[in-house]
């Protein structure tokens, strides 16, 4: 049933993407792509490297709070493996974060889980913070129908309340609270009941970080704020490279802020179709041209696909043959081995399927850059 839902959502996302491209016109999209030179493409590619290095650095700071002195290179490989699973398999970000937990080179599995949850929470908190700023600026600067204002404000308010609630519960014991809530509803999943002590210990590691390492929390929040500005810069440069005129850095920041909504609505793998539709709507709202919007997303997808391929290589390096290098107590766990092996095989299969299309796109970019 689960696989069927994933297949159906993938098909829906693909159909939505095809309809968007058809309505805008492939010729218009190709016209924008032709403006990117090979040099500009490599600038964007290496900017994405900086993006991933900064995200890895934030995770490294959090692990220092747990006295984990793992190799930065190992963390980067685990981070890129997580990206590969998120981008290439239907499991999306859930599978990616689970992969990151399992590939972390630490004998304490509970610290692995806690560090990833804290990292993701602070990242989400930062993104919501800047989304609120971006939405406020958009409403003040851009004439828009009242229904759009209501949608944006409602989304930001609901997401903010949910994140604040989760953050508060994490400080008290989020997973323990869920187990107790399910127990009151007479729902007692066997997995949760059998692992209750381990889950409660993971809760303690999470709450301990917030209590004892407030300075690290502030530091990670600061660097994730820099990441948002870095992300905005990449968007701005991409728009300039594909021929956008009279676009300001503030416009790019609004695009990033409003575009964050697409990442929160992951009803299809890698938000396929949803991501494109969101950006097309934003560009129509800003009167920047829907052709620019879809071209921007396609270029970002191509670059993300290339880095996902590198992530697959990282996963093979950390886990050649399945799960040999899973440390400590997890090394002989057949469930861990099987799950990592399945994720790796799925990522490799998806990469093979998509690599043909990616080669055609990058070949077209190289020909057009030669003409430029």
pLDDT digits (tens, 9 = 90+) for 318-340: 653 333 443 334 444 455 555 65
- 146 domain-assigned: no
Cβ atoms < 10 Å from Cβ of 321: 10
- For residue 304, pLDDT over 80 is answered with yes
Mean pLDDT computed over every residue of the chain = 80
Buried b (16+ CB within 10 A) or exposed e, 340-367: beebbebbbebbeebeeebeebeeebee
**319: DSSP letter:** S
Count of domains for the chain: 1
Residue numbers of the domain that contains 121 = 15-126+214-371
Q: What percent of the chain has pLDDT over 70?
A: 77
- 338 domain-assigned: yes
- 199 domain-assigned: no
- 250 domain-assigned: yes
Give mean pLDDT, residues 172-182. Answer: 82
Two tokens at 50? Answer: 């900086």
The model scores a pTM over 0.85: no
- Report d(CA 61, CA 69) in Å as an integer: 10
* Residues 340, 9 contacting (CB under 8 angstroms): no
**In 3D, which of 218, 205, 125 has the Cα closest to residue 173?**
205
- 121 domain-assigned: yes
- 114 domain-assigned: yes
- 145 domain-assigned: no
- Report d(CA 96, CA 4) in Å as an integer: 20
- Report d(CA 125, CA 256) in Å as an integer: 15
- 149 domain-assigned: no
pLDDT for residue 322? 38
**269: DSSP letter:** G
Q: Count of alpha carbons within 13 Å of 319, Cβ hemisphere only? A: 29
């Amino acid at each position: 049933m689960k696989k069927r839902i994933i297949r159906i959502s993938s098909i829906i996302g693909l159909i939505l993407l095809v309809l968007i491209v058809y309505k805008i016109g492939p010729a218009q999209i190709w016209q924008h792509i032709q403006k990117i030179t090979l040099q500009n493409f490599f600038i964007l590619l290496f900017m994405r490297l900086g993006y991933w290095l900064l995200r890895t650095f934030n995770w490294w700071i959090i692990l220092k709070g747990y006295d984990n002195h793992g190799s930065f290179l190992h963390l980067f490989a685990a981070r890129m493996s997580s990206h590969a699973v998120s981008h290439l398999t239907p499991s999306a970000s859930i599978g990616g974060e689970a992969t990151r937990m399992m590939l972390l080179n630490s004998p304490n599995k509970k610290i692995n889980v806690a560090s990833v949850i804290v990292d993701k929470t602070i990242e989400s908190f930062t993104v919501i913070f800047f989304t609120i700023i971006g939405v406020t600026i958009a409403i003040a600067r851009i004439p828009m129908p009242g229904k759009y204002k209501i949608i944006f404000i409602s989304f930001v308010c609901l997401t903010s309340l949910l994140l604040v609630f989760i953050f508060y519960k994490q400080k008290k014991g989020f997973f323990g609270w869920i187990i107790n809530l399910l127990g009151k509803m007479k729902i007692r999943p066997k997995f949760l009941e059998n692992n209750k002590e381990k889950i409660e210990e993971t809760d303690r590691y999470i709450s301990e970080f917030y209590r004892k390492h407030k300075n690290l929390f502030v530091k990670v929040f600061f660097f994730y704020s820099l990441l948002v500005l870095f992300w905005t810069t990449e968007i701005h440069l991409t728009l300039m490279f594909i021929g956008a005129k009279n676009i300001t850095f503030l416009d790019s920041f609004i695009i990033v802020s409003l575009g964050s909504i697409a990442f929160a609505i992951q009803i299809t793998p890698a938000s396929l179709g949803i991501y494109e539709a969101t950006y097309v709507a934003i560009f129509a709202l800003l009167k920047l041209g829907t052709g620019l919007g879809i071209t921007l997303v396609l270029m970002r997808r191509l670059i993300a696909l290339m880095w996902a391929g590198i992530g697959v290589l990282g996963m093979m390096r950390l886990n050649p043959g399945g799960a040999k290098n899973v440390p400590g107590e997890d090394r002989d766990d057949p469930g861990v081995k099987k799950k990592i092996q399945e994720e790796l095989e799925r990522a490799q299969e998806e990469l093979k399927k998509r690599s043909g299309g990616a080669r055609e796109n990058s070949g077209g970019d190289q020909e057009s850059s030669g003409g430029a």
